[in-house]
Amino acid sequence: MEKSNQVTVSFSVVPHIKSDDLYGVIDRAIEVVQNAGVRYEVGAMETTMEGDLDELLGIIKKAQDACVQAGAIDVITSIKIHYRPSTGVTMDEKIAKYREQAPQPVR
């Protein structure tokens, strides 16, 4: 049986900075993902990508480096990986049914 390298990875960076521009530093990490050429979705608390695990981990490393280049003293990065070698994993299988529903009111 052939293995699939298709995974879904979610990550968040929490840069420690001396200025008040936390979101500006996080934006640099998101730009790395946007320029990487992989399928991704930015959420309120994390960014999710799909593709080859090694490639995605490399993107996360570059995102951390971008935070440091933007002024972070250090960066805490949380990573979640969904790996299914038999068929691979996509973002669509996880969220497509929610995208088809009407938006729910905020309470």
Q: State the pLDDT at residue 104.
A: 62
Q: State the pLDDT at residue 13.
A: 96
Q: Report pLDDT digits (tens) over 81-103.
A: 999 988 888 888 888 888 776 66
pLDDT at 65 over 90: yes
Q: State the pLDDT at residue 102.
A: 63
Q: For the residues 14-29, what does the mean pLDDT come to?
A: 91
Q: State the pLDDT at residue 28.
A: 96
What is the distance between the alpha carbons of residues 31 and 49, in angstroms, rounded to a whole number? 13
Q: Is the pTM of this model over 0.75?
A: yes
Of residues 6 and 66, more confidently modeled: 66
DSSP assignment of 34-70 equals HTTTSEEEE-SS-EEEEEEHHHHHHHHHHHHHHHHHT
Q: Report pLDDT digits (tens) over 28-59.
A: 999 999 999 999 999 999 999 999 999 999 99
pLDDT at 78 over 80: yes
